[in-house]
Structure 1
Amino acid sequence: MQLSSDADPPRTPGTVRPGGRTARTRAAVRDAVLAGLVDHGYPGLTVEYVAEHSGVHKTTLYRRWGGVEGLVADALDLAGEDTWTPPDTGSLHGDLKALAHEVLDTFGDPSAAAAPAAFIAAAFQSDRAARALRAFYDERFRRCAPLVARAVERGEVPEDTDPGTLARAVSAPLFFRLFITREPLDRAVADQAAALALAAARAGACTALTSEETGPTTEEAEVN
């Protein structure tokens, strides 16, 4: 489930994005935001930097995006318009290993890791960026539904297996090593994460949690 900076036209039926000059402008702004996040981090990213590196006047940037938070959120939204699909290796174990290897390949390459790592760092410093990052991964989890459906048809996991819970089970140990303990990753670690997720799914532990089990969302807690 790569968090890529490459964005193709959206694939969701009924969703229409502007093309032509508007699309080129948005892409140029997105590239400038990514460069700024990589070079300076979220605290150092400015509208002036994006204007200089995108060729879009800062007045336009403020009018359309509102400021740095809006620029980062839209860059994440654009990243989520790619054509990524989950692997289909013929077995759930193979699919989970392929997902784990995607994380390894993305974050094991410093040049490939720079943009997604910068997005994740920005989410810790901006509520709007955090919401955009959650939306990005929510979309990724939805795209994993066919992976789980195939596994259910093959009798590999229970029918109530939740795609998002299973995808999190694969990636969570890897992201913990990457961003918390700063431990190195290799294929053995990735394969172990896939095997643990597979065992959990087979045991019926990868079901969706109810709102009563998870508690209120941050937005709900603020309202109450």
Structure 2
Amino acid sequence: MQGREPHPLPDTGSLHGDLIGLANVVLAAFSDPVVIAAERAEVSGILQRAFARGELAVQADPALVHAAVLGTTFAWIFLLGQPPSPELAARIAGLTAVGLTGGS
């Protein structure tokens, strides 16, 4: 999942207008079918490689794995108010891997 370029935000002349602009950019990023498809393709590649290496006994659903990683990340940062970190990425990856492999 590649880094996203920041979107330039216009100066609307008001705090409210600027925040609407920011909210629209965030909503677009989270609902952009091109971005979602690109990320899903990355997840699919990860899962196909793991299956080919014998790490997965069955093909996993890329949409479900994508949602699990995104949902866990979102909840940790935005619902629980915890900071993102490399350790968090490793913990989410470990939790997801255990779920996919049954702990093997």
TM-score (norm 1): 0.36
Structure 1 consecutive aligned stretches of length 4 or more whose deviation exceeds 4 Å: none
| Structure 2, gaps ≥5 residues long | none
RMSD, aligned α-carbons:
3.0
The answer to whether the aligner puts 1:197 opposite 2:103 as a matched pair is no
Matches within 5 A, 1:57-206: 119-120=25-26, 123=27, 129=28, 133-135=31-33, 136-203=35-102
CA distance in 2, matches of 1:37, 1:178: 27
Cα pair 1:138 1:164 within 8 Å, conserved: no
After TM superposition, give the deviation of residue 157 of structure 1 in Å. Answer: 1.1
Cα pair 1:174 1:193 within 8 Å, conserved: yes
The answer to whether the aligner puts 1:35 opposite 2:13 as a matched pair is no
Task: Go from structure 1 to structure 2 and tell me whether the alpha carbon gap of 1:196 and 1:182 turns closer, same or farther (over 3 Å shift).
Answer: same
CA distance in 2, matches of 1:144, 1:157: 14
Cα pair 2:47 2:59 within 8 Å, conserved: no
After TM superposition, give the deviation of residue 4 of structure 1 in Å. Answer: 0.4
Task: Go from structure 1 to structure 2 and tell me whether the alpha carbon gap of 1:194 and 1:133 turns closer, same or farther (over 3 Å shift).
Answer: same
After TM superposition, give the deviation of residue 154 of structure 1 in Å. Answer: 1.1
CA distance in 2, matches of 1:118, 1:197: 30
CA distance in 2, matches of 1:161, 1:202: 10
Q: Comparing both chains, which one has the higher relative contact order based on Cα–Cα distances under 8 Å and sequence gaps of 6 or more?
A: 1
Identity, % of aligned positions: 21
Aligned residues: 96
Cα pair 1:178 1:184 within 8 Å, conserved: yes
Larger radius of gyration: 1
